[in-house]
Amino acid sequence: MANRDSETLLSARRDRVMARWDLKDEIVLVRSGSVLPMAGSDMEHSFQPHPDFAYLSGRGIPDAVLAFDALQDQWQLFGPRSTPDDQVWHQPADPIGVPLEELEGWIALRTEQTVLEAWDDPKIQAGIAAERIHKDELELSALRSAAATSKSGFDWVYQNVAAGMTEREIQVGMEAEFFRAGAVRTAYPSIVATGPNGAYLHYFYGQDDSLNPSTRTLQKGELLLIDAGGEFGGYASDVTRTMVVGAEPTDVQSFLWQVVLSAQELAIDRCRPGQEWREIHLDSARTIGSGLLELGLLRGEVDQLVSSGAVALFYPHGLGHLIGLTVHDAGGYPAGREPSSHPQSRYLRTDRPLEAGMITSVEPGIYFIEALLADPAVRERFAEEVVWDAVEPLRGFGGIRIEDDIHITDAGPEVLSEDIGKPIRIG
């Protein structure tokens, strides 16, 4: 991040954010954060800077502070200096800014000015988020590189995965390719879900000694749902593909996969400035509801099935979210909008009109989720709208999700993950 062009872009980001803050004489402190100790241990988790700090400074080291003095219209970076003792254990970080020890004195000189901690101040955070939602060319370059690392991992999957492999083997092979292609880490814990496990929306972590992705073996003809992405230059990629492995898809697998793909394609085409995300989301639910009606899993009229929450039993999550320095990025809800309690929209992570420069995921899905389908209260409430006898054989089917990362532009949607194939069958 040393070249002149990047310094110019970083300085322009700070200017835009400062204009949004509209301060008089306050001081703002944007901290990078500290390393997190592992519970009950003297070891530490790997460090990730607070994204607001990374956005404004272009740096990612712990215990640094970017300060802004609104009276002087002046930014000052403070960075820690490692001691000889530190250097016995860790390679020293670059000595950025002025020594952190000087921060206290810098604040003390400004006795009349109020100190605003960025992490605690909604106005400061909102100002940064309002800029983070629009990506500059430095960010777009990192996002494209992140998508390229994901492509390497998914290509490995398409060429190497076969029935008989475990989720864990698939994860390890795929992530190795992310890293070979330059990813620094995965953008989030990889979801590699075979068969029924694809119905857990965020199938990761596991319990006790059993990790997810697990040692479960992929069976011939089962669905494999992979939701994973590399991180590059601090920026995320978030891609999902679902495929049948080692056999021709059944009619039901093929039908539902096509419904999800259609919902995704229709939504991607509407990823244009001025479009309300909530409307695109609700239309994706209508597309999925129509498919479930056609397959005979629901009965009734599609708008009513979306309003009642019947479609949400099979598509409970939102169509997508903003992506950037974090995979579920800042700025999803602008001031004045609150998450809805509508059954189809309560997990929607974004509710705003789209604007050029935003990056959003588009990720519709259809799932057969035991926690919902086995619940007697749910079965009672949707006795008329869900054809439970038709759903019964599909318990254990898993889930289908297809996800890409879209750059909103005035010229139409740019799919950053476009080069990642969408095979319905592999192996």
Residues that bind Mn ion (CB under 5 A): 227, 238, 361, 403
Binding site for ligand GLY (CB under 6 A): 188, 227, 238, 327, 361, 363, 403
| DSSP per residue, 72-104 | TTEEEEEE----HHHHHHSPPPP--SEETTHHH
Tell me how far CA of residue 62 lies from CA of 72, 85, 138, 269, in angstroms.
Answer: 26, 17, 22, 41
| DSSP per residue, 156-203 | HHHHH--TT-BHHHHHHHHHHHHHHTT-SEESS--EEEEGGGGGSTT-
Contacting residues for 132 by C-beta, under 8 A, at least 6 apart: 51, 52, 55, 324, 325, 329, 330, 331
Judged by beta carbon, residue 237 or residue 253, the one nearer Mn ion is: 237
Judged by beta carbon, residue 298 or residue 416, the one nearer Mn ion is: 416
Check: CB of residue 161 under 8 Å from CB of residue 224: yes
Judged by beta carbon, residue 13 or residue 349, the one nearer Mn ion is: 349
Q: Smallest distance from the beta carbon of 323 to Mn ion, in angstroms?
A: 7
Q: How many residues would you count in the chain?
A: 427
Check: CB of residue 143 under 8 Å from CB of residue 323: yes
Check: CB of residue 186 under 8 Å from CB of residue 153: no
52 binds, among Mn ion, ligand GLY, none (CB under 5 to 8 A by kind): none
Q: Smallest distance from the beta carbon of 321 to ligand GLY, in angstroms?
A: 7
What would the two tokens of residue 266 be? 């229709």
- In one letter, which amino acid is 413? P
Judged by beta carbon, residue 278 or residue 401, the one nearer ligand GLY is: 401
188 binds, among Mn ion, ligand GLY, none (CB under 5 to 8 A by kind): ligand GLY
Angstrom distance (rounded) from CA 389 to CA 373: 12
Judged by beta carbon, residue 222 or residue 238, the one nearer ligand GLY is: 238
Angstrom distance (rounded) from CA 292 to CA 196: 19
Cα-Cα-Cα-Cα dihedral sign, residues 61, 63, 64, 70: positive
- In one letter, which amino acid is 33? G
Angstrom distance (rounded) from CA 266 to CA 281: 10
- In one letter, which amino acid is 297? L
Angstrom distance (rounded) from CA 420 to CA 144: 12
